[in-house]
Amino acid sequence: MIPLSLLISWSHLIVRKRQTLASVLGVAMGVGFFISVSGMMKGFHDFFRTQIIESNAHIVISDEVRHPPRQPAELTYQNAAIQVKRAFPQEPVRGILGASTIIDSLHQQGIAAAPVLRGQVLLRRSGRDAAVSMLGIDPDIEGTVTTLPEDLIAGSLNALNSVPDGIIIGNLLAEKLGASLGDSLIAATPAGIITNLKIVGVFRTGLNQLDEGQTYVHLVKQQSLQNRPRVINEIRIRLPDVAQSIPVASSLETRWGYKAAPWEETNSRVLAVFQIQNLIIYSTVSAILIVAGFGIFNIISTVVLEKSRDIAILRSIGLNSSNISNIFVIEGTVVGFLGSLMGWIIGYGLSWGIEQIPAPGASDPTQTLIVDGSLDRYLLAGALAVITSILAGWLPARKAARLNPLLIVRGAT
Amino acid sequence: MSIVLETINLSRILQEGDLKVTLVDNINLQLASGEFTAITGPSGSGKSSLLYLLGLLDSPTQGDLLINGQSTTQLSEEERAWIRLNSFGFVFQFHFLLAELTVLENVMVPMRQLGKLTRQVMGKRALELLAAVGIADQSYKRPAQLSGGQRQRVAIARALANDPQFIFADEPTGALDTKNANAVFDLLAGLARDQGKTVAVVTHDENLASKTWRRLRMEDGRLVDNTNFERRLG
């Protein structure tokens, strides 16, 4: 049989159909927006994160050290309060020493790794300039560490082997320079070398930073352009499991001494922006739920006031204070559950609607907004709504439980 | 005829700041089973306050209240609620029926709270009680559809739901016309006479009070007239 408290709460909710519906709708809206808006944010972040992970190496070992080596003068006079004048700092040759040893060792562990010489270059075509970074790569193994082969929308990676002067550029850079596949560019490097390069490939990753500012040539070509024969200053690594990037990077750094940056570090700014966006989105959508909670609080408080006579007689009959407070907590809980259920439907509908909207600024025109619709998002929104509703019912319920029945039965006499 | 309720120097003093009001002043009285008692007195004499103390709705500031020989002053609020549920039935001037429930459901409220009977038995018992107060045909209506007299009968049926040992009524006829008031009093008298329940009624209506078998008169919180006390006990 239905417990007495439930029967009475249900009768209160049924009698106030409109108010009940309004508070259920309030919760439902909160839940619906929570699911769809935070899902949209998560979908966007996941998409972006995948783009970053796919287009970049998981770990980059570069020819830098975290702490610059101490100069000979400092080592000679440790802890000394002296100043050595005209002591020129040692200038070591830049580049990763023993890069092939590192790469071989990684390959033996089953980890994909590829050598890179990164340098700056100024590209010019028909009076338009672009200062970009140029990566000398090994075309045969580049595909094992990045998705460059898949990102190509024109030409091929292998052309770098057959065309010694070949260069692969991003689609945005191509637009900027007004160049397309097969066109020639004038390249000037910091080493003072000026030469002609021929576009043998155009790629698109979807990340403007890369599509606009990164170019690829053959490693050997780059070494001659930068006048750094046989030098490698980056090793790009792709892991079987991207989640391991941070521990693997730190162990590599400990072992080889060179700075090994996981993708999280390289993209720390983007990830920080994601966190701030999350903070804003979640506080906004949670605020909707809290406002809905205030609505429930308001309605149940009114019911408690209106029903003080009922409370008094129920207390006289022999219901104890927790029986009384249960009545109103149940009302909040029922509103929370109904609101959550309705909110799930609204959230599902809104998510579907958002997924029909073309993504603004996407390089691919058929790309629509992505909404992450994972179950735990629904559960989280539902749990938050139910907790808020129970709290909103519990506060007036406490007041109801404390009501002195005597004041009412006496007052009505 | 045995003593089922006894007060010993029972007092209720209301204190708010420096203001001190003695509602009930040092009352000693005994109620026996099957006794139909009226508590009368001018308004403000403390007759309702005394009834609330007897009904465990209020706590005395001094003295003790024995129910079936057991002291009640040390009981927790939960235990007092339990005694009210099991052994007491209340009828007030205002019917205090739950507007959202049907008449039958209202009568079943105390039974549901006690939870000793099955739903079928509760429904059957509620119908019997409504028949006993003469309104079985109104069982499935809402309280708002009933007349004042009918509502008060429902309230009496509800007070009887758990077959209580005691019935406490506070001005139960205050909102009724003479005909209905007489009918309600006859109902209460029947409960004492036929079922051996201890019935205490607060009323300011001397005419109705004369229908009871025992009259307690209060003034300024004190019991001033205890006439007919011996008649019933003897």
CA distance A314 to chain B (A): 8
Q: Given an 8 Å threshold on Cβ–Cβ distance, is A310 in contact with B96?
A: yes
CA A413 and chain centroid, separation = 66
The angle formed by the CA atoms of residues A215, A218 and A223, to the nearest 5 degrees, is 95
**B233 located within any domain:** no
Of B175, B172, B174, B202, nearest in space to B187 by CA: B172
pLDDT tens, position by position, A4-42: 888 899 988 988 899 899 999 999 999 999 999 999 999
Which residue is closest to B58 within chain A, CA to CA? A406
In sequence order, the 6+-apart residues with CB closer than 8 A to the CB of B226 are B29, B216
CB A220 within 8 A of CB A139: no
Q: Is there a domain that residue B182 lies in?
A: yes
> Hey, is the C-beta of A1 within 8 angstroms of any chain B C-beta?
yes
pLDDT tens, N- to C-terminus, chain B (234 residues): 688 999 999 999 988 888 888 889 999 999 999 999 999 988 888 899 999 999 999 999 999 999 999 999 999 988 999 999 999 999 988 888 999 999 999 999 999 999 888 989 999 999 999 998 889 999 999 999 999 889 999 999 999 999 999 999 998 888 788 888 888 899 899 999 999 999 999 998 888 888 888 889 999 988 887 655 444 443
Mean pLDDT for chain A? Answer: 88
Rounded to whole angstroms, the Cα distance separating B20 from B12 reads 11
- pLDDT value of position A413: 41
pLDDT > 70 fraction of chain A, expressed in percent and rounded: 94
Contact at CB, B113 and A4, closer than 8 angstroms? yes
**pLDDT tier at A82 (50, 70, 90 boundaries)?**
low
Whether A150 has a pLDDT exceeding 60, the answer reads yes
Residue A121 pLDDT > 90, yes or no?
yes
CB contact under 8 A, B78 and A320: yes
* CB contacts, 8 Å: B99 with chain A: 15
Cα separation of B223 and B39, whole Å?
Answer: 9
Q: State the residue range of the domain holding B8.
A: 3-228
State the smallest CA–CA distance between residue B113 and chain A in angstroms.
6
Cβ-Cβ contacts under 8 Å, B52 against chain A: 406, 409-410
Q: Looking at residue B89, what is its pLDDT? A: 94
Contact A344, A412 (CB under 8 A): no
Neighbours of A164 (CB within 10 A): 13
Q: Which of B58, B92, B162, B168 to mutate: most A Cβ within 10 Å?
A: B92
pTM above 0.80, yes or no: no
Contacts of A324 in chain B (CB under 8 A): none
Residues of A in contact with B45 (CB under 8 A): none
Contact A201/A155 with Cβ under 8 angstroms?
Answer: yes
Q: Which residues of A, range 143-202, sit inside 8 Å of B by Cβ?
A: none
B231–chain A nearest CA distance, Å: 31
Ordered DSSP codes for chain B = --EEEEEEEEEEEEEETTEEEEEEEEEEEEEETT-EEEEE-STTSSHHHHHHHHTTSS--SEEEEEETTEE-TT--HHHHHHHHHHHEEEE-SS----TTS-HHHHHHHHHHHHT-S-HHHHHHHHHHHHHHTT-GGGTTS-GGGS-HHHHHHHHHHHHTTT--SEEEEESTTTTS-HHHHHHHHHHHHHHHHHH--EEEEE-S-HHHHTTSSEEEEEETTEEEE-TTHHHHH-
| Single-letter residue type at A282 | Y
Q: Give residues with Cβ within 8 angstroms of A394, minimum separation 6.
A: A325, A328, A329, A332
Higher pLDDT, A79 or A109: A109
Q: What is the pLDDT of residue A344?
A: 96
| pLDDT of A175 above 80 | yes
Question: Which residues of chain B are at the A interface, by a Cβ-Cβ cutoff of 8 Å?
Answer: 48, 52, 55, 57-58, 77-78, 81-86, 88, 90, 92-94, 96, 98-101, 105, 109-110, 112-114, 118-119, 158, 170-171, 174
- The β-bridge relationship of strands B166-170 and B198-202 is parallel
Task: Report CA torsion sign: B138, B141, B146, B150.
Answer: positive
**How far B95 CA lies from chain A's nearest CA (Å)?**
9
Q: Number of folded domains in chain B?
A: 1
Which of B82, B83, B100 faces A12 most closely, judged by CB atoms? B100
**Other beta carbons within 10 Å of A102:** 22
Domain ranges of chain A: 4-52+270-411, 59-73+94-262
Taking residues A138-164, report their average pLDDT: 91
- Could you tell me the two tokens for B189? 């008298």
Neighbour-count burial for A182-199, b at 16+ CB within 10 Å, e otherwise: eeebebbbeeeeeeebeb
Alpha-carbon distance values, A232 to A81, A119, A149, B221 (Å): 39, 11, 21, 104
d(CA A13, CA A7): 10
Q: What is the pLDDT of residues A353-390, one digit of tens each?
A: 999 988 876 667 778 888 988 899 999 999 999 999 99
Q: B96 and A3: CB-CB below 8 Å? A: no
Q: Mean per-residue pLDDT for A294-298?
A: 90
Residues of A in contact with B174 (CB under 8 A): 413
**Do A315 and B81 count as a contact with CB atoms less than 8 A apart?**
yes
Q: Which of B58, B86, B93 sits opposite A412 (nearest CB)?
A: B93
Q: What is the ipTM of this complex?
A: 0.88
- Partner B, chain A 199-238, Cβ-Cβ below 8 Å: none
Q: Count of CB contacts below 8 A, A vs B?
A: 87
> What pLDDT score was predicted for residue A331?
92
CA nearest A34: which of A316, A386, A281?
A281
Cross-chain residue pair B85–A413, CB shorter than 8 Å: no
- Residue B115: CATH number of its domain: 3.40.50.300
Region A298-312: what's the mean pLDDT? 90
Confidence band for A240, pLDDT divided at 50, 70 and 90: confident
